[in-house]
Amino acid sequence: MKFIRRESEQLRLSPNYSWEKYRTEFPDRCTELINRCSQAGGCFDEVIPRFHVVHRQILQPVIYTYSKGKVYFETDAVSFLRDYGSVIENLAIGSWVRFTEQYTNAPRLYEKIRGAKPERKHARYRNFLLRLQGDHCFYCSRAFGEAPAVDHVIPWSYVLEDRIWNLVVSCQNCNQKKTNQTPEDRFIDELIDRNKRLLTRFAAGNITAAEQVAVRDLREFFAKDLPEQIRTLINNCRADGFGTWFVRFQADAPRQDNFSG
């Protein structure tokens, strides 16, 4: 982990930078990193034996043996892992989640550690958001010159879900520049204010059929402190290494939604 952390710091990689991307973009460094971790007498020999220790007791019989950087599984162990692999995987992921929770407040840890890719559903909100926000970008306020993007204010790679309280429409330029960063705080305030107005309308029963999906997404905030919830997510997201994007241009356009309360 020290080697990986040092490599990440030297290359200034984002927290959600994937191993596949690292291996493709830095093949020589990747090979060097693997060799450094697996060299005789190093990390490999240091760590591999510990997988036989559970609650400070050495497992018997052993599941595998190792020699010269290679692991050899026992025949019975291979059969057991093949028959009960999915159960073992779920138990292992659960243990990693419990361990990781000591160091991060990131949501949906189980899905992230498992490597799950939830179905993306943000596009279904496009028309609703356009009616709500109008024909200008949430960030730069310019009128859309092309099809707008549905953007996650708190990056999708952090929240790992598509919910209306975190979605806006933006121009393609701002969407590409923001990438997986959080926007500056003034936009967080605008998002919170917009969601407050929606909550007020929905609580009063002023709901159209097209807005039912938005009501479901906001229902969790009916009895909670919405500003605190969103600001806590933003702060935790930034604490986990997601950067903050600052808008360099903002046109003179109204900053309000198109629904009256």
The pLDDT tens digits for 62-98 are 888 887 767 888 888 889 889 999 998 899 888 888 8
Radius of gyration of the chain (CA): 24
Average pLDDT score over residue span 21-27? 91
Average pLDDT score over residue span 121-145? 89
How does residue 260 score in pLDDT terms, banded at 50, 70 and 90? very low
Contacts 24+ apart (CB under 8 A), 144-150: 144/169, 144/171, 145/171, 146/171, 146/172, 147/172, 148/172, 149/175, 150/122, 150/123, 150/125, 150/126
How does residue 140 score in pLDDT terms, banded at 50, 70 and 90? very high
Delimit the domains of the chain by residue range. Answer: 2-114, 122-245
Q: What is the pTM of this model?
A: 0.69
Rounded distance, CA 103 to CA 1, Å? 14
Q: What percent of the chain has pLDDT over 70?
A: 92
Q: What average pLDDT does the chain have?
A: 84
* C-beta neighbour count of 139 within 10 angstroms: 25
